[in-house]
Amino acid sequence: MITVLLIRHGENDFIGKRLAGRLAGVHLNDKGREQAAVLAQHLHADGIQAIYSSPLERAMETAQPLAQRLSLPVIPHAALMEVDFGEWQGVEIETLHQHDLWKVVQETPSRMRFPGGESFAEAQQRVVSGLQEICTRHADGARIACFSHCDAIRLALAHFLGMPLDGFQRLIISTASVSVLHFEEKRVRLARSNATFEFSPQPADG
């Protein structure tokens, strides 16, 4: 069995305001950096042997504190990237709510292809194939951290749970949350979904 921790990046100033997608230059804000530190504090003793990340800055920055504590490199992996939202990238959420296709995104995402971008089905296949490929790089018993994005993680979980694509929007994946998958020989099992941690300061020396 190989254990994969799917970790969403920390907060940034686009969340709830604009669709960041694959825009370059979207960095963690102060809260996001604190969330990354909290993740490192809670996961550094979890036996993680490798760290992969979406190449986008906000994911790489979330992975970095854990990588530093474990003295491991962060390996960029394109399959862990956010959905390619095409022409919607960078657009304000309020504006998108008024778009005719927004209802399709929310209610029948299996029918949605973003103008100039991916369909949800293509994104799901990309993420799932990427996770399976990552697992082939490691021996039985490995524990692997994969830092990614909300929709990418939800699409992966929906696939491995056998959920219809049109149901994936029902899954909640918070910033800096951890979901855990066990890749066994004949099946994949979900061990944890959307776990979040609160900061607990380390005791002062002396």
pLDDT of residue 199: 57
Give residue for tokens 């996770």.
Answer: 131
d(CA 184, CA 182): 6
Residues 163-178 have pLDDT tens digits of 999 999 999 999 999 9
CA atoms within 13 A on the CB side of 17: 6
Query: Residue 205 has what pLDDT?
Result: 41
* 70 neighbors 47 (Cβ within 8 angstroms): no
Give mean pLDDT, residues 7-33: 96
Domain boundaries along the sequence of the chain: 7-195
The CA distances from residue 114 to 21, 88, 146, 155, 168, in Å, are: 11, 7, 25, 15, 17
Q: How far apart are the first and last CA of the chain?
A: 42
Mean pLDDT of the chain: 94
Reference 147, options 28, 40, 62, 50; nearest CA is 62
Averaged pLDDT, 85-98: 95
Q: Average pLDDT for residues 89-109, to the nearest whole number?
A: 93
* pLDDT value at 20 more than 90: yes
User: What's the pLDDT band for 76 if we cut at 50, 70, 90?
Assistant: very high
pLDDT at position 203: 42
Q: Note the pTM of the prediction, 2 decimals.
A: 0.94
Domain 7-195 coded CATH 3.90.1640.10:
no
- pLDDT bracket for residue 198 (50, 70, 90): confident
Over the stretch 23-62, which tens digit does the pLDDT of each residue have? 999 999 999 999 999 999 999 999 999 999 999 999 999 9
pLDDT digits 0-9 by tens, 110-151: 999 999 999 999 999 999 999 999 999 999 999 999 999 999
